[in-house]
Homo-oligomer: A and B are copies of this chain.
Amino acid sequence: MGKCFLVTGGSGFVARHFFDYLETLSEDISVVAVDVCKSGQEFPEYHNITIKIVILDLLDRHGLESILQDSPPDYLLHLASYSSVAYSWEHPDISFANNTNIFLNLLEQVRLFAPECRILSVGSSEEYGKVRPDQVPLLEDAVLHPVSPYAVARVSQELMTRVYVEGYGMDIVLTRSFNHAGPGQKDIFVISSFSRKLAEALIAGKSTIKLFTGNTTIVRDFVDVRDVVRAYHLLLTKGSKGEVYNVCSGIGRTIDEVLMMMSRITGISVQTIMDSKLVRPSDNPIIIGSCTKLMRQTGWQPGIPLERTLQDTLNYWHKQLLNS
C-alpha cells in the first residue's frame, strides 16, 4: 500500500508544487489536502497520486480527529499559516494566535489519534531576526532574535515542537524555510508582487515603470518553491527527528538586485519610490542561510537559479493577466 500524506494549507501555493513533485515520483501516493476554503483553482490531472480535498478549519478538533482516523497519514506536511510579515505588524494578535493555535491543535490531535505520523513543522528564516553581517550564512544553531510578530509565532511553534518531541516522544522534523518564490505565489510577497506589476507593464507595452517599495537594501535568501518542496519531501522521508534544517539557496540578494534582474529579463526599466507605509517597524537587514546540513543529511541540492524563478513567475503572471 502506498504512503498517505496529510497536507494542511492544501490548496495553497507550496502545496500545489508539493503535489506536482509527488506526481513525478511515480509511486502510489494518496494525499489528503486540508484547507479552510475551496480554492478557485482546480488541481491538474494527476496519474500517480490521488488527492482527497477536505474543507476544514484547523481549529476544529473533531474534524481533525475524523480525518486522522479515516485516513491515518504516514506524513503530515503543515503548510497552513498566516505567512505575511507585513500582516503580522498590522494584526499581531490575529497573526500570532492563528499560527500558533492552529499548529497546537494539529499537534494535539496527531498526538492523540495518529502518534506514529511523522510531521514536518515548517518554520521561517524570519526566526533568526536580528543578524550581524558576520553571522551569515546562518547555521541552524544560531541564537534566534525574532523581531516581528510573525517571527515570534514561528519561534514559538519551533519551541513547542521540541516539547512535543522531547516530552511526548513525537516524530517531528523542523525547517527554517527562507523566502520562497515561484509561479503561483500570491502577490503580497515581494517577488510575486513585482512580477505582477512588470507583467502588467509588459502587456500594456510600457518600457518603464515606477514601483512603490519598502526598504530595498535588505538582503534576503530566495529559494525556488520547486526546490523547497523537494527538500520537504526529503526531510519527511530522510530527516532526523527533532532536528531543524535551513531550507535556502545559500545566496543573498538585495531587493534592488532582484529588481535589476527582473528589469533585464523584461527589458523594462524600473524606478523605485520608497513608501514609508511599506517600511516595517523592525526589519532584518540581512538574512542568508547555510543549506549545508540539509544537503549533507538528505542529498538535496538547490536546482533552480533565481533568474529562472523570476522568469517563470513573470510568465505565470503574464498568462494569468491575459486569461483574466
What's the minimum C-beta distance from A76 to chain B, rounded to whole angstroms? 16
Segment 178-195 of A: residues with Cβ below 8 Å from B = none
Q: Tell which of A23-31, A143-151, A245-253, A314-322 binds the partner.
A: A143-151
A96 to B162 alpha-carbon distance, docked (Å): 14
**Interface of A (DSSP majority class):** helix
Q: Tell which of A1-9, A36-44, A152-160, A290-298 binds the partner.
A: A152-160
Interface range on chain A (Cβ under 8 Å from partner) = 20 to 34
B residues near A151, Cβ cutoff 8 Å: 163
A101 within 8 A of B: yes
Closest partner residue, chain B, to A150 (CB atom) = B163
Closest partner residue, chain B, to A158 (CB atom) = B152
Closest partner residue, chain B, to A105 (CB atom) = B93
B159 touching A146, Cβ below 8 Å = yes
B residues near A159, Cβ cutoff 8 Å: 146, 152, 155-156
B residues near A89, Cβ cutoff 8 Å: 167
A97 within 8 A of B: yes
A152 touching B147, Cβ below 8 Å = no
A201 within 8 A of B: no
Closest partner residue, chain B, to A144 (CB atom) = B159
A166 within 8 A of B: yes
A156 to B107 alpha-carbon distance, docked (Å): 17
| Most central of A146, A156, A280 by chain B CB within 10 Å | A156
A282 within 8 A of B: yes
Report which of B143, B155, B160, B282 forms a contact with A149, defined as CB distance below 8 A. B160
Segment 66-96 of A: residues with Cβ below 8 Å from B = 89, 92-93, 96
What's the minimum C-beta distance from A316 to chain B, rounded to whole angstroms? 33
B residues near A96, Cβ cutoff 8 Å: 100, 104, 160
Going nearest first, the 3 A-B pairs with the smallest beta carbon separation are A167-B281, A156-B156, A93-B104
Report which of B92, B108, B166 forms a contact with A163, defined as CB distance below 8 A. B92
